[in-house]
A = this chain, B = another copy of it.
Amino acid sequence: MSVVYTETPTAGVAPPVRASERAYRQLRGEILDGLLAPGAGLLEVEQSARIGVSRTPLRAAIARLISDGLVAGRPGRGFMVTEMSVDSIRELYEVRRALEEHAARIAAERRDPAVFEALRAQFVQAPGLLERGPAGLSRYYELITEFDDALDAAVMNPFLVGALAGVRTHLARIRRLGRDNPGRLRAAAAEHLLIIEAILAGDSSLAAHATHVHLHQSLTNVLAAIQGHAADPAG
């Protein structure tokens, strides 16, 4: 009972990934990258046709995006990508501070020296990365992700990690706004380095305060970037 595959082998891992998962990832990525701008409408039939799945899995994908807070439903008028007001950015950073300060504190208490030693070495070289063009920049952001992952692993708390993941989802949308500021990135690297050193020293109080400072600076930079864009929309 042999089966003949008429599809080309290049299809690869297409079958195992569910259609709803594909739709979710694609829509989520497009929203985070700004391809689907805030306020943009999402119609089931339209999007299902575009992505190449039927309405049922697409509907499941949109349901997940709604619970992520990336999409909102308007009764009778379809769905839309949620807006990110300046106020909501402030609110987001407020929660982020509460969670990340706590995470940093815990990481300092339950520290895994090996991981953070390695991270320290990487962050010491971070300023150099920023002078190596797009590739270095990309590596820099990868490093931030590794730092976040190390923090997640250190806290060993699924609830906290989950809450942080939700916050970071929205941050990914914001980050695009202020990412073209080399001076800020250099300063951010130094701030991360201080947090890492505090964790390595087991100084939970310093880790929390350094995190607070870092997030304050980050928010300040983002808000300034928004002001700049608002004053100079063409830039």
Contacts and interface: CB of A to CB of B under 8 A. Distances in A.
B88 A94 contact: no
Q: How many copies does the complex hold?
A: 2
A67 B167 CA distance: 15
Nearest to A94: B157
A124 interface: no
Contacts of A69: 159, 162
Contacts of A56: 56
A163 B162 CA distance: 10
Contacts of A95: 99, 102, 157, 159-160, 163
A39 interface: no
A14 to B, nearest CB: 18
A184 B69 CA distance: 37
A134 interface: no
A158 B162 CA distance: 17
B91 A102 contact: no
- Looking at chain A's contact residues, the main secondary structure is helix
B163 A163 contact: yes
A97 B163 CA distance: 13
Interface in A117-175: 157-160, 162-163, 166-167, 170
A92 B159 contact: yes
Contacts of A166: 163
26 contacts: A56-B56, A59-B60, A60-B60, A63-B63, A63-B64, A64-B67, A67-B67, A69-B159, A69-B162, A88-B158, A91-B159, A94-B106, A94-B160, A95-B99, A95-B157, A95-B160, A95-B163, A97-B102, A98-B99, A98-B101, A98-B160, A99-B99, A99-B163, A159-B167, A159-B170, A163-B166
Interface of A: 56, 59-60, 63-64, 67, 69, 88, 91-92, 94-95, 97-99, 101-102, 106, 157-160, 162-163, 166-167, 170
Given A163-B163, A163-B166, 13 more contacts: A59-B60, A60-B60, A63-B63, A88-B159, A91-B158, A92-B159, A95-B102, A95-B159, A95-B160, A98-B99, A98-B160, A159-B167, A159-B170
